[in-house]
Structures are given as structure tokens and as C-alpha cells.
Structure 1
Amino acid sequence: MNGLPAITITEEVMREGMQIESAGISVADKIRLLNALSRTGLKRIVVGSFAHPKFTPQMADIDRIIDGLEPVDGVTYLARAFNAKGRERAARHTPPLTQEVDVPRLHCHLSDIFVRRNYNRSQADEIAAWPAIVSRAAESGATAAGIGVGAAFGSNFGDFPGDDAAVRMLQRQATLWDEAGIPVRSVFLSDPMGWVMPHVIDRQLRRIVERWPAIDSVRLHLHDSRGLALTSTYVALRALDERHRVELDTTVGGIGGCPYGGNGRATGMAATEDLVNLLEMMGVDTGVDLDALVEFAWDLERVIGRPVNGQVSKAGPHPVASRAYSTELPVVETMEEARHFRLGMGVIREPRRPWRAS
């Protein structure tokens, strides 16, 4: 489809997804999942995070998981680190991890309660760190900078300052970069509590690119607590154009969530397989193997012991061309029988065709 931005999918199931699942999932299962994920055609995979096991016990074995990684050429493996110690640990695994050199960025959460619960610091602490970041960037000769807000669309804890707050906070950050003579080229919007709505993200992104026309890179981390992440992603893509690059964080199966946000496993994200199916139907060649993603989602369900949230792993991709269903397909009723799109008509236990033959 013409007019769309360049799209990059960053797969977060092994970090964002696993951090909300049982800490008892075996290292062997995680390694097997990670290596299977590497063979799906996804090009950016977050393998986990270097977080203190006291706060995120699901990541306690991240070093062993990386040791079991079988890297695939052309895949960039990343890990999230939230402090200097975490970054030091990540550096010891580089390669296979890639330590991306991003533009210096200012960031702040709009929910003070959330940032206290999640990072054990305040919104004021985040803002207080800005001058040092700008100073280091100027001293290093940075030629571009980023701005960003977390809890960009709302808060479960009643402390959201309103729809205009995101742009106001971004403006405060941009002013510091302007004073340092460093142009703003990227923006990051994250939604840890799943408040994103299509009409709001459309308005926000259009205001952002109008106010800062030099911005050509947008990263979105959208959660799905209210079922609007994929719709909002589509609207975001239409609010941008070919001048932009957009990075979309998703998880296979749509699992994920922060334990400090109030919704637990109900938070979720847009399912990677659902996004890939949408993009492919829009004419975007993602290079991702949808069948492999579906197989991964089924294996993921076995590992976590519950159904995942995504839809394409249940009903399959749109059955176009060679995927069209056989006209001999019997009545399909159960979730198990719906898997005939991959497993064949043999999964239908009592084949019934009550209609008249044509």
C-alpha cells in the first residue's frame, strides 16, 4: 500500500511476554522457544531483560538462555537493560546480542504512580536526569536527539493529566534539545497500561509530526488491555507516511504485561501474527513466515499452560489463493477443529455436511 512508513517489527515475547508468566518455566523451554522464534523470519528479537530477580524473577536465568541461543544470520538480538549494571551484564553477551547505538533521548512517564511502582523512582526523578543527558549529548557531538513519554495515553491509577499532556511533556524535552542545538529526529510513545485509543493516537501523531517535521523515526509500544492495540497500530500507520520509519513492539500470541500496572496477564499486546497478517493483506511484504508464527504460538500455549490472546493462531491467516478452504470442509465448531487450516480436516472429529450437494 502506497504512502505507508517503513515498518520494523520488534518481537518482545521472550521479554515482555515471559515477564508476566510463571517464573517456573524451564530454561530448556525458553531456549527452545527462542531458537524457534529465530527461524520465523522476524529480524529483531528481544531475548529478555537484565533485571534484578527480586523484581522480575522470570528473567533470573537470562544469562543461561542467551548461552543456549543459536543465532540466525540476519537477525538482530537485543536485551532490555534499565540501569548501568544491567547494561554491563548485557555487554558480556555481545555478540550474540547487539548493543544498538541510539540517539540520546529524553523520556518521562505521565503517570507518577506507575513509574514509582515499576521503577522505584518518581516522575520528578526522570525529569531531573534530563540536563545531564543533554549535556553529555552535546559534549559527544550528537547530531540528533529523541523525545518520549510513557503512560502516554492514560493511567489505571487516576493520575493521568489529560490528552494534551503528552505533547506538552514532549515540548519540554524538545526545548532542551533546541537550546543545545541538537535537532529532534525521533519520538517514543509507550502505553504500559493499555489506554491507547485509535482516535487519540491519530491526533497525537499528527500533532507531533506537524510540530516537529524533522522527526522521521517513531517507536510505539502499545498494550492491549482494552483490545485496541492492533486497531490503534493501523491508525498510527495511516497517520504517518513514507517520510517516516516506525518500530512496532509486539509479542507472538499477544501475551505480556507489567505486573505493576494493575491488569497482569490481561494487559497483553498486539499479537505479532495478527499484525503480520494485517500487513500482508495490506500488501506489505514482511518477510515473516506466518505458518511458523502460528506453530510457535501453539507451542507457546503448551509452555505457559493457557491459550494465547492472538486470533490468527486460532482461525488462521485470511484463506486467500492456495489457503482457500476446501468446499468439502465439514461443519467446524470447536477451537480445536478450527485448526484445520494447518492440521487438515482430520482434526474434525465428527464430520457433518448437512447441506445439499450442489
Structure 2
Amino acid sequence: MSWPAVIYSEEVMREGFGIEDVGIPLDTRVRFLEALSATGLKRITVGAFVSPRFVPQMADFEELLRRFRPREGVTYVPFIHNQKARERAAEFSPPLTVEEELCSLFIDICDVHQRRNVNRSIDEIMASWPQMIAASKARGVRTARVGIASAWGSNFLGPFPQDYRLAMLTRQIETLTAAGLEVVEIGLHDSQSFSLPHLLEADLIEIRRRWPRVRQFHLHMHDARGMALPGICAALRTLGPGDTLMIDGTLGGIGGGQYCGNGRASAMAATEDVMHMLEGMGIATGVDLDALIDCVWRLEAIIGRPAFGHVSKAGPRPTRPDALYDPNLPAVESLAAARHFRLGPQAYAAEGYSPWKHPIAGPFKRPTAQNV
């Protein structure tokens, strides 16, 4: 099967730490970012130029940029939500990469969540678009992106129908097109974890039918109800080799929305799980999964609790002969003992037990079609 081109954006430094304890030391986050940079990840969103009144965890963001040692081959980007943030980012480039500016129209289509997030209604946001477009064009911008948050529904208003999603995208695209801007990217953000894979698939099919010239797509999938990874898989299977899919996720799946009602339980697609899935599907990532898992364990020590991802707990599927489990592996019960996939016998030395009277010995029946 032919897949779309995949760009993975690691969001743990912003989306993840943005809802964690404000007391995590800066030096700890600097060292963590440097370790994360050594995993093979190509793109890391390192934070945002925002008021600490709204996101107190970003209060020392600029100092982090001064202290960390960037790694060659890694693109470090800030979350840019307005022109002032873009100007601040330019002052820190390098290490930041300030990407080509697109005129970005983005709206949370849940009016309640929109107001809770930025104290502005949907109508107020839309009323600001002409001024935003005019300012972008004055800077020479000729291309644009659109995006909707709470795309599939809301904890406050319930599920949203497809025609509402598409109408909100149409409003943005027609506004930009009328202003002479070319829309090159469409984003779908599941801010309140209402997506289901068949809904996402149907939406992408219809979006491609309505706007066939758009070939770049952006998914930001929260995972409060476990649908982030299935949704990403549905998108990969729906889009084609001429498309590009940007996927946001966080190491360990941490992160969340302060204003959606789920807090840290909002979570996100866990980077290690996404990388494991992509590699298994034949989509090369260039990521060292072992190094990534080590970073998850480091993250768990920092935040003081288990993260949400799965591959860091059970390990990747053992497919190489040297990674297969020993048939006489003792019974494994705890999460600590399950880490034997990386730590070896020491992981279960204090608790493993073997109830079998005799060793489990081969030869074993192998799973081949001839053995059926």
C-alpha cells in the first residue's frame, strides 16, 4: 500500500509540560529536551511565547531557548499563534526555525470551548479574519491554512454533524479564496476527544472531493477516549502518496486541555506508540525506539507518575530473533517486571516466579500456512 508523506511533530515540551507542575526545574527540562533530540525525532515544538498568566509553565521559555544545545538535523519550532509571537521567534532563530508564514485561520467550532479558551466567541473570531488577512497580505503572504478545533464534538454541546464541520471549513476557505489567497493545508483538531475512525475517514474523503487541490493535512488528536491512534491510522489509509500528513503527538501521550473538562486525561497520541505503528506499517521514521522509550521512562520520573503510552510499558513487538522472549521467562505481573524487554532479567529478579514443573522446550510449531 502507498502511504502519504508523514511529518511528525513532537509536542511534549509545549502540549505536555504545558499542563504539568509549574515546579519542574528548568535545568531538568533542558536536559530532557537534549535527550529527546537524540532519539531521531526530526521536528520538536519546544514551547510558546505566551503570557504566563494563561500558561504559567511557559514563563521561562526564553531561558530554555538560551540554555539548551540544539542537535543538528532537528527542526525546533515554536507554537506561533500571532504576529507578535512570530517576531519573538525571529529573535531566537537559531535555534528556532521560523517556517514560511501562511495566513492561518483557525477556529474552535464549539462556541463554549472557544470562549473558555480565549474569552472570545466564534462570531468574534470570525469578525477578526478580514483584518488578519489584510495584515498577512501586506506582508506578502499569498498562501493560507485553515483548521477547526473540537472538530467532531464537545463535552459541553455533544457530537457535531459532518455538515457542520464542512460548513465551518467552507466559511474559512471561501473567505481566504475571495481575498486572493491559496489554501494549501487543512487541519482537524480533536480538542475534546470526540473523533471516531470512521468519522475521520469519511471527512477526509469528502474534504478531498471538495478541495482536490489541497494536499496537506494536519491532525492534532487528543486521546481521552482512546481514539487518537485509530484515527491516525484511518487518515494514513485514506490519504494517498501525493498527500502530506502532519501528525501531532506527545512523548508518553501526556498533555491535555485545561478548559475541556478532562484535564490531563485529555492526553494525546503517544509518540512511541505512533512511531511503533508507523514502522510496523512500513513507514520509515528514522527514530531509535529504544532511545525514545528511555526518554519516556525519564519523563515518568520527572512528572512522578506513569505516562499514558503503551510501547514504553510492554515494549515493541519482538520481531527480531534476538528480541523474542525466552519460553521459560518467569511469570510477569507488574509494570516494573515488564521492563525486562529493555532491562533483562534484573527487571523481574525480585518478583518473577516459575510454576512449571519442567522447562518449556522445543521444537515448537511455527506459525506458517503449511502448519494449518
Class of the TM-score when normalised by the shorter of the 2 chains: over 0.9
Mapped partners of 2:142, 2:101: distance in 1: 12
Q: Secondary structure at the match of 1:344?
A: helix
Mapped partners of 1:137, 1:59: distance in 2: 27
Give the superposition deviation at 1:121: 1.7
Q: In the alignment, what sits opposite 1:155?
A: 154
How big is each residue's C-alpha offset from its partner over 1:121-174, in whole Å with a ceiling of 9 and x where there is no partner? 221122112223333455566553322211111111117653321111111122
Mapped partners of 2:125, 2:242: distance in 1: 31
Give the superposition deviation at 1:180: 3.2
Q: In the alignment, what sits opposite 1:354?
A: 355
Mapped partners of 2:209, 2:136: distance in 1: 25
Could you say if the C-alpha distance between residues 110 and 202 of structure 1 is closer, same or farther in structure 2, counting changes exceeding 3 Å?
same
Q: Letter of the aligned partner of 2:353 in structure 1?
A: R
Q: Identify unmatched segments of 5+ residues in structure 2.
A: 362-372
How big is each residue's C-alpha offset from its partner over 1:73-118, in whole Å with a ceiling of 9 and x where there is no partner? 1111011133444333322211101111143232221011111111
Q: Letter of the aligned partner of 2:53 in structure 1?
A: K
After the TM superposition, which of the residue ranges 136-145 and 200-209 deviates more from structure 2? 136-145
Say whether 1:103 aligns with 2:94: no
Q: In the alignment, what sits opposite 1:133?
A: 132
Q: In the alignment, what sits opposite 1:241?
A: 240
Say whether 1:329 aligns with 2:329: yes
Mapped partners of 2:296, 2:195: distance in 1: 25
Q: Letter of the aligned partner of 2:276 in structure 1?
A: N
Q: Secondary structure at the match of 2:339?
A: helix
Larger radius of gyration: 2
How big is each residue's C-alpha offset from its partner over 1:230-269, in whole Å with a ceiling of 9 and x where there is no partner? 1111001111110100000000000001211111110000
Q: Is the 8 A contact 1:110 1:160 kept in 2?
A: no
Q: In the alignment, what sits opposite 2:283?
A: 284
Q: In the alignment, what sits opposite 1:343?
A: 343
Could you say if the C-alpha distance between residues 180 and 30 of structure 1 is closer, same or farther in structure 2, counting changes exceeding 3 Å?
same
Mapped partners of 1:180, 1:89: distance in 2: 27
Mapped partners of 1:265, 1:143: distance in 2: 38
Give the superposition deviation at 1:354: 2.5
Mapped partners of 2:100, 2:241: distance in 1: 24
How big is each residue's C-alpha offset from its partner over 1:252-297, in whole Å with a ceiling of 9 and x where there is no partner? 0000012111111100001000000001111111000100110000
Mapped partners of 2:87, 2:174: distance in 1: 31
Q: Letter of the aligned partner of 1:328 in structure 2?
A: N
Q: Letter of the aligned partner of 2:230 in structure 1?
A: T
Mapped partners of 2:18, 2:141: distance in 1: 34
The residue correspondences of 1:167-206 to structure 2 (distance < 5 A) are: 167-206=166-205
Q: Is the 8 A contact 1:12 1:46 kept in 2?
A: yes
Q: In the alignment, what sits opposite 1:257?
A: 256
Q: Letter of the aligned partner of 1:212 in structure 2?
A: W
Mapped partners of 2:179, 2:56: distance in 1: 40
Q: Is the 8 A contact 2:8 2:43 kept in 1?
A: yes
Mapped partners of 2:241, 2:176: distance in 1: 25
Q: Letter of the aligned partner of 2:331 in structure 1?
A: V
After the TM superposition, which of the residue ranges 2-11 and 84-93 deviates more from structure 2? 84-93
After the TM superposition, which of the residue ranges 151-160 and 230-239 deviates more from structure 2? 151-160
Q: Is the 8 A contact 2:152 2:160 kept in 1?
A: no
Length-normalised TM-score, structure 1: 0.95
Could you say if the C-alpha distance between residues 228 and 310 of structure 1 is closer, same or farther in structure 2, counting changes exceeding 3 Å?
same
Say whether 1:311 aligns with 2:310: yes
Q: Is the 8 A contact 1:5 1:242 kept in 2?
A: yes
Q: Secondary structure at the match of 2:298?
A: helix
Mapped partners of 1:159, 1:330: distance in 2: 47
Could you say if the C-alpha distance between residues 161 and 346 of structure 1 is closer, same or farther in structure 2, counting changes exceeding 3 Å?
closer
Q: In the alignment, what sits opposite 1:270?
A: 269
Q: Secondary structure at the match of 1:113?
A: helix
Mapped partners of 1:178, 1:56: distance in 2: 34
Q: In the alignment, what sits opposite 2:206?
A: 207
Q: Letter of the aligned partner of 1:21 in structure 2?
A: E
Moved over 4 A (4+): 136-143
Q: In the alignment, what sits opposite 1:91?
A: 90
After the TM superposition, which of the residue ranges 116-125 and 241-250 deviates more from structure 2? 116-125
Q: Is the 8 A contact 2:151 2:160 kept in 1?
A: no
Q: Identify unmatched segments of 5+ residues in structure 1.
A: none
Length-normalised TM-score, structure 2: 0.92
How big is each residue's C-alpha offset from its partner over 1:15-59, in whole Å with a ceiling of 9 and x where there is no partner? 000011100111111111111111010010011111111111111
Give the superposition deviation at 1:213: 0.4
Q: Is the 8 A contact 2:102 2:144 kept in 1?
A: yes
Q: Is the 8 A contact 1:104 1:137 kept in 2?
A: yes
